[in-house]
Structure 1
């Protein structure tokens, strides 16, 4: 049993592909960065290692001057760079120096007021990294100018601290762009890939008890779903073969029963008249009717080939004339009305006569042996049979069409008459129903498809 709304395969694929793309993009960038870090490419090219450590360590003392905190990174820098030197100054004239500025760069140290951002090197041409770097940068002490060498290394901790910004500024926009493309492209791709499955579902909807031999198309079904389609087709084949065996059994059994029932009826008829003889004849007649109805059910599948124009007015009138003596003998009046002289449908005359006959016999059986049985034919293609008995309870109006179901267990019927009527109506593309708006009794309405003029 399916609970709740089924989940969409298409959007599950879209979501998972978008998430996978984001994860793969992140891992790819991290992998590239790790390789560059492990091979020494980034530290060799990075020129701001010393400045980063100094910028993190600079602060102000109580008097507002500049000072350095002894951070672990600063201690490591001093250990790795014995000849460490730097100049830190702010716009208010505070200055912090350590180490000795190389002689060739001393003139630049004296003219820092005229330098905003610069790179200096001992050799002619562009070096990576340069020997000296000058830059204004934001620190805990505010915006300061730092002049220092470039022997410091890239800090892994600093990289990790910058990771959120890198994710927001680089990875997130790229992931969003890829997700949007996935959102628009993947549904189209999935729809095309599952188009064959839609054809198979449409074919499955046409499968019915009277539409045997159908198979789900497998030519355009995705390879992953093909085993399911083949399994369903195999199951349909087994059901068809089982249904054919069932039909043959019922037909053979009904044929075999007709002869002993006829012999039994003949022998009972030869007995001296008595109440017991009458009851036995009634029981054998019931058995004979049951076998006839079973044969009628099995013949329905072959009657579609004999369809032709049928006049419902003529069919109903003929059945009423044939059963009127039986209805009169049971204590009923018979009434027949037709809105038109002729109403044509496409069908099998024998089957439609059998359906009308079963409804009238049902009315005779359940009408209470009093009142009137009315048969009416009306446009567009309706036949109604009504009695003035106790009617059909609301909760039984679907079950009475099931095979072998009887409204009253002790009734003389076999419980196949109304089921046969429903099968005949389905064969003709129509339906039968119990009409609600009747003052008394039961009214059954057969609705056919009118024959196009």
Structure 2
């Protein structure tokens, strides 16, 4: 959480607290100033800047006598206060004076060295008895200086000036406290939210049932977290109902579909039988895809060693009758035997089956459909159909997406293939082979690879027996 990020809680607390502190301090200062002004007994103070000017002008001549330098500061002082007077007493008792000192202060000259600070306020105009005593370091050494009849300032001005001088460091201190302490306090108070946010990021469709903890968060945020947990509960229940419906519907469809396929197989060969078998197979595929959506929610408990060559050989044998009846040649090309991966045999089989069925459906009922197994955990399913445009190669894996609106099928097959491949840590891509058409390439993390004996090339490029 950044301090100055728009919408940040820290930012709002810092600036609002600063504004509140400034308002309270201003009101308190104004109240104190008013009280001090009301308590003022009258009279005026002498501006003590004059004593600093006098101290800088005191100098010692070569013969040891004290002298007052006739510099610009002294000329300006006497121009502003022509009746100013002063007496300066050194540490050894030597004196330097100028102007007419009132008789009331002459008795102080003898003890001036014992007085370090004093402000004497005259309450009666023309305030000629107002004076000030200050210690000063001069070029001739330390001196105590008493001066009067300089420029006068009212008590109100002094009070206001001092109050402002005091407010500035207090405001700076409050600002530092707000900028440093508040973010730390807020971070500690809301530290539990970071844990809750981390848990929330881990919740997705594959990890349902998780709920956010309210143990370490502030009470004020508790209702929000509880509301989120309630929403998650309702979403989980709705998702489970949806999954149960898909599973039940798919299971209920399998039996009548199997009966229909059996009855179609005993019909006399011909175009109508081929068409009906293709349609029945499409319905069976859709039912299996609905079951696949439910199966993919399971864990990886069924993972084992899978020989890709054996897997593809079984799939080619199962789908050869349908491919041949539809007008294709089905070729199995095992370029590397013993290519083994770790995975769910059933899920991987369904992925390859969906790719072959997709080729049967969309490759134009002509040419050869090739299933190829290569080293590196690679399976390719290629056809010689119209192919897939480059601009559509990312879209075809989206659920319910079809290249043409009139295409048959629900648009789930390729999406399920991608999900199965990704759950096995692999990748799927689409290329265009030299012979044209489309080539779907699956690459899975290979577990074992048993090399063929030297000099032996395996290329089972044949039409599998039904």
Query: How would you bin the TM-score normalised by the shorter chain?
Result: 0.5 to 0.7
Which is worse superposed, 262-271 or 308-317?
262-271
Displacement after TM superposition at 1:241 (Å): 0.6
Aligned to 2:59: none
Q: Distance in 2 between matches of 1:449 and 1:342?
A: 10
* Cα contact 2:311–2:349 (8 A) shared by 1: yes
Q: Distance in 2 between matches of 1:249 and 1:262?
A: 20
Which one of the candidate residues 391, 401, 404 is aligned to 1:408?
Answer: 404
SS at match of 1:200: helix
Displacement after TM superposition at 1:315 (Å): 1.1
Which one of the candidate residues 12, 28, 31 is aligned to 2:28?
Answer: 31
Aligned to 1:310: 306
* Change in CA separation of 1:451 and 1:289 when aligned onto 2, cut-off 3 Å: same
Deviations 1:47-87 (A, max 9, x none): 994325998xxxxxxx9976779xxxxxxxxxxxxxxxxx7
TM-score, L = length of structure 2: 0.66
Is 1:434 equivalent to 2:429 in the alignment? Answer: yes
What pairs with 1:7-406 in structure 2 (closer than 5 Å)? 8=5, 13=10, 16-17=13-14, 20=17, 24=21, 27-28=24-25, 31=28, 34-35=31-32, 38=35, 43=40, 49-52=44-47, 88-89=84-85, 95=99, 105-108=105-108, 119=118, 133-135=131-133, 146-147=147-148, 155-161=155-161, 165-168=165-168, 170-171=169-170, 174-175=173-174, 178=177, 182-183=179-180, 187-258=183-254, 261=257, 279-280=275-276, 282-302=278-298, 304-329=300-325, 330-332=327-329, 334-347=331-344, 349-406=345-402
* Cα contact 1:434–1:442 (8 A) shared by 2: no
SS at match of 2:220: coil
Q: Distance in 2 between matches of 1:198 and 1:54?
A: 58
* Change in CA separation of 1:132 and 1:9 when aligned onto 2, cut-off 3 Å: same
* Cα contact 2:398–2:415 (8 A) shared by 1: yes
Aligned residues: 396
Aligned to 1:74: none
Q: Distance in 1 between matches of 2:294 and 2:80?
A: 105
Across the aligned residues of Structure 1 and Structure 2, the Cα RMSD in angstroms comes to 4.9
5+ residue gaps, structure 2, are: 51-75, 88-95, 121-128, 136-144, 450-466
Q: Distance in 1 between matches of 2:281 and 2:189?
A: 61
Displacement after TM superposition at 1:280 (Å): 4.8
* Cα contact 2:247–2:290 (8 A) shared by 1: yes
SS at match of 2:343: strand
Displacement after TM superposition at 1:400 (Å): 2.0
Displacement after TM superposition at 1:358 (Å): 0.9
* Change in CA separation of 1:159 and 1:422 when aligned onto 2, cut-off 3 Å: same
* Cα contact 2:33–2:163 (8 A) shared by 1: no
5+ residue gaps, structure 1, are: 56-62, 70-86, 122-130, 138-143
Deviations 1:314-373 (A, max 9, x none): 2123212333444445233514234351313132x2221111111112122223344443
Q: Distance in 1 between matches of 2:6 and 2:283?
A: 55
* Change in CA separation of 1:20 and 1:379 when aligned onto 2, cut-off 3 Å: farther
